[in-house]
Amino acid sequence: FKIIELLLFVSAIIKVLERAYAESPSCAGNRTATYLLNTRGFSCETLYLPSINDNTTDSFNCSLIKDTKDCETGYTESLCGNLYVWLLDRFWLATAEEFYPECVSYLESEMSPLPPSPAS
What string of pLDDT tens digits covers the 120 residues of the chain? 677 777 777 777 777 777 777 777 677 677 787 778 888 888 888 888 888 888 889 999 899 999 988 888 888 888 788 888 888 888 888 888 988 899 999 999 988 877 777 765
Beta strands in the chain (DSSP E): none
DSSP secondary structure code for residue 56 in this structure: S
The predicted structure's pLDDT at residue 120: 57
Q: What distance in Å separates the CA atoms of residue 69 and residue 6, rounded to the nearest whole number? A: 28
Residues 116, 82 contacting (CB under 8 angstroms): yes
Q: 94, 81, 72, 98: which is closest to 21 by C-alpha?
A: 81
Dihedral sign computed on CA atoms, order 13, 115, 99, 6? negative
